[in-house]
Structures are given as C-alpha cells and as structure tokens.
C-alpha cells in the first residue's frame, strides 16, 4: 500500500491496515480460546488454578494450568467491581495498583451496564478496538513520514501489544494512546485531539503521567503556556481517581523505588539467569531473555544520546522522561523478564521506534527488535499447545 496524496485516501488505507491488524489479533484470541482454554472466553484472562475468586465470578471463570496465573486475572476482577463495592479487593494481589489502572476494565464495566456475563466479552472487544486504533494511528504516522500504510501492522509486534493480546493486560491501550499522541501532536490542526489522550493515558496505567510530563515540558520550552496548562489539567481525572482508590484501600506497601538510579535493572543484569540445559526451548528462552535485556540497555543509552545531542522534541522528551522514570524503579520483578520489562517500557520503545521511522535511523528501532524474539517464543508455545488440542 503506497502512501497517497489525499488525506481521505490515507485514512482509508490506514483503516484497511488497522482492520487487518484487528482481524489478526481476534484470530489469535479465537485460537487460544478454542485450543488452550476449552472454548471458554474467560481463559484469556489467564486466571491461576490456585488463585482465589469471589463466588460471583468463579462460576464462569476458566482456570489455566498454572498455579499463579497472570496479571489480567486481577483486571478481570476490577472490571466486575470497578467502584470497589462488592468486596473483590480481597481477592486481588495489590488493590491500589490494580484499581488505579481503571481505564480498560472501567470502560468495560460501563459498557456492560453491570452485567457479569457481558463484561468479559466487552473487555476483550475493547482490547480489539485499541488494536484497531493503534494500528490506524501508526499507519497514519507512517504515511505522514512518506512511508507505506502497511507499517501500521508493526503495532502487533510492540511487546505491550503482543502480551496484552495473549494475556489481556491493560498495556495495549497505553501503547495505542502513545502512538496517537505522537501522531496528533505533529499537526497544529489536530492538536486539540491530544488532550483526550492525555486524560486517558494515566487512567490506563500510571506511566501515562510520564507522557503528560513530556507534553508539559515541551510546551513550556516552546513558551506555549496555554498548551502546558491544558496538559497539566489532563492529570486531574487520574489524580481524582487515585484519591478515591486511596480512600478505599490500604496503602501500597510495595518497594517500587530504587535505592540508587537503575538499581533494579543493574541488579537484574548482574544476577543474570542460569543457563538451562534441559531443552532446546529453554535454552532459546535464556538467549532471548538476554537479548531483550540488551535491548533495554540500548534504549536507555539512546535516550542519553538524545540528551547529549540536545534534541528536545516531544518524542525525544518522552523517551528521556521514560528513562528518568525507569531509573526510579527498583522492584526486581519489573526487570526479571522480557514480558514484564517489555510491557512497562513499551512507551519508550514506541517513541524510539517512531524516531527511527521519522529520521530513517534504524538504530532507534533495534531495542524493540531485540525484545520481540522472546515474546514470539512464548507465542510459539501457546500455538503448539492450541494446535495439539485442536488436532
């Protein structure tokens, strides 16, 4: 699909690419449901076999062959009790953290009108809508940079997106919003569309606040005080919601912060992972985990390079702001796997990738490319399991 000269043609091509991306995501979900979860849509939330559940949800929730499960099992409960009135917080690992990320589960609850049966399907449909939006915005951005619209399909390979399609985490939505924010910020005539995205981003995940900070700093550097004030005002919906959560939950006692800059990442690098010898798959996983770790270090290095070169556009400031944020994260499990790190750091990987598209400098896309193999290997395991059961 070639870049077109008229905005209408560009939008049509972008929409076609986005529809293909959404179809690919939906097909993977359908394969997972049919092959790995016995036809139960709720299996996509990857609820552990030993995870406690409220009776209202347990009756129609599929449990996977994994004791612990994965993060989306908690967002699943948030969608069923968004205002914390049903006592579901007792079944969640970290209620303040999970309920702060109300964006996707809260929207699912609103659309479902309180129906426990409908909310699961609507949550999944919302994920697919964000796949469409993310791919559409990426295709539009690519065309604005004289690239082909088919670049929009690259949205599926962003770690946060790939993990969310497979495990229903909320990071997919923030990835889409990050791309939309970059795209709209580049055009004065579309600038007003930035502010709804800035409002939504921190409600999806707290790291959305980093995008608000980058926007405000960039606006202040340009002496656009109105844009800076409007950007700062976009933080208030999330701040208000966080106050509500703080009044309905115990304080979050998790030790998130670093004892020194990048302590979590440094400790993960020094500690490393024992090289397995049992199977080829595990040896490949070990290799790809180390490649992903190298990708994160390269992403941070490129952000420091942007500071050194004094490049302070919105994308550059977003990368720098996310690097500063990463320096404060000391909790080890954020850095221990490509799944966890790739999700958390996807906004950084995205803006670096978009800089690569704009400047025709492939080095800025390498961090993202180094993380993809580990995510793809997990997909291979899911795919083989599904095919064995179907066939």
Check residue 385 and give its pLDDT: 85
Check residue 391 and give its pLDDT: 74
Check residue 117 and give its pLDDT: 86
63-72 mean pLDDT: 93
Check residue 1 and give its pLDDT: 44
216-223 mean pLDDT: 95
Residue 340 burial class via C-beta count within 10 angstroms: exposed 0-12, middle 13-18, buried 19 and up: middle
Least confident of 190-194, 272-276, 295-299, 365-369: 272-276
CB–CB of 166/379 below 8 Å? yes
Q: What are 108-141's pLDDT values in tens digits? A: 999 999 888 899 999 999 999 999 999 999 999 9
170-181 mean pLDDT: 98
Buried b / exposed e along 149-167 (16+ C-beta atoms within 10 A): bebbbbbbebbbbbbbbbb
* Mean pLDDT, all residues of the chain: 93
279-292 mean pLDDT: 91
Q: Long-range contacts: 219-222, Cβ < 8 Å, 24+?
A: 221/312
Q: What are 298-357's pLDDT values in tens digits? A: 999 999 999 999 999 999 999 999 999 999 999 988 998 998 999 999 999 999 999 999
80-84 mean pLDDT: 97
Q: What are 231-244's pLDDT values in tens digits? A: 999 999 999 999 99
Q: How confident is the model at residue 5 (pLDDT cuts 50, 70, 90)?
A: low
Check residue 190 and give its pLDDT: 66
251-276 mean pLDDT: 87
117: nearest Cα among 59, 64, 33, 69? 59
Would the pLDDT of 151 be above 70?
A: yes
Q: How many residues does the chain have?
A: 391
Would the pLDDT of 4 be above 60?
A: no
Residue 63 backbone dihedrals phi, psi, to 5 degrees: -105, 135
pTM: 0.95
Check residue 189 and give its pLDDT: 63
Q: What are 30-61's pLDDT values in tens digits? A: 999 999 999 999 999 999 999 999 999 998 99
47: nearest Cα among 28, 23, 73? 73
SS3 track for the chain: CCCCCCHHHHHHHHHHHHHHHHHHHHHHHHHHHHHCCCCCHHHHHCECCCCCCCHHHHCCCCECCCCCECCHHHHHHHHHCCCCCCCHHHHCCCHHHHHHCCHHHHHHHHHHCCCHHHHHHHHHHHHHHHHHHHHHHHHHHHHHCCCCHHHHHHHHHCHHHHHHHHHCCCHHHHHHHHHHHHHHHCCHHHHHHHHHHHHHHHHHCCCHHHHHHHHHHHHHHCCCHHHHHHHHHCCHHHHHHHHHHHHHCCCCCCCCECCCCCHHHHHHHHHCCCCCCCCHHHHHHHHHHHHHHHHHHHHHHHHHHHHHCCCCCHHHHHHHHHHHHHCCECCHHHCCCHHHHHHHCHHHHHHHHHHHHHHCCHHHHHHHHHHHHHHHHHHHHHHHHHHHHHC
12: nearest Cα among 98, 106, 136, 129? 136
CB-CB neighbours of 39 under 10 Å: 9
Check residue 352 and give its pLDDT: 98
Would the pLDDT of 191 be above 80?
A: no
């Amino acid at each position: 699909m070639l870049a077109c000269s008229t905005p209408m043609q560009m939008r049509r091509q972008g929409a076609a690419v986005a529809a293909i991306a959404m179809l690919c995501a939906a097909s993977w979900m359908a394969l997972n449901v049919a092959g790995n979860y016995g036809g139960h849509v709720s299996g996509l939330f990857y609820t552990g076999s030993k995870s406690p559940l409220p009776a209202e949800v347990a009756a129609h929730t599929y449990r996977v062959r994994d004791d612990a499960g994965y993060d989306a099992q908690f967002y699943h409960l948030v969608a069923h009790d968004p205002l914390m009135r049903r006592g579901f917080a007792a079944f969640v690992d970290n209620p303040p953290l999970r309920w702060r990320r109300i964006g996707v589960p809260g929207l699912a609850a609103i659309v479902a009108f309180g129906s426990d049966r409908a909310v699961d399907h609507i949550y999944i449909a919302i994920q697919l809508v964000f796949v469409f939006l993310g791919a559409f915005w990426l295709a539009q951005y690519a065309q604005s940079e004289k690239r082909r619209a088919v670049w929009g399909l690259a949205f599926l390979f962003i770690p946060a997106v790939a993990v969310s399609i497979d495990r229903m985490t909320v990071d997919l939505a923030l990835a889409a919003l990050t791309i939309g924010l970059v795209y709209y910020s580049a055009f004065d005539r579309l600038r007003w569309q930035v502010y709804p995205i800035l409002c939504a981003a921190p409600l999806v995940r707290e790291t959305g606040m980093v995008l608000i900070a980058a926007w405000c700093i960039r606006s202040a550097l340009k002496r656009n005080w109105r844009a800076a004030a409007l950007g700062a005002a976009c933080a208030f919906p999330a701040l208000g919601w966080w106050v509500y959560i703080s009044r309905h939950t115990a304080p979050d006692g998790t030790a998130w912060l670093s004892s020194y800059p990048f302590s979590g990442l440094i400790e993960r690098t020094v500690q490393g992972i024992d090289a397995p010898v049992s199977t080829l798959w595990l040896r490949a996983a070990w290799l790809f985990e180390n490649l992903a770790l190298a990708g994160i270090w390269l992403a941070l290095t490129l952000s420091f390079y942007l500071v050194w070169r004094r490049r302070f556009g919105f994308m550059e400031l977003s990368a720098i702001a996310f690097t500063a944020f990463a320096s404060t994260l000391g909790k080890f499990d954020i850095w221990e796997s490509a799944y966890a790190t790739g999700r958390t750091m996807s906004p950084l990987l995205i803006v670096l990738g978009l800089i690569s598209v704009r400047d025709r400098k492939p080095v800025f896309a390498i961090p993202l490319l180094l993380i993809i193999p580990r995510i793809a290997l997990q997909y291979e395991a899911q795919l083989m399991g599904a095919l064995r059961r179907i066939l």
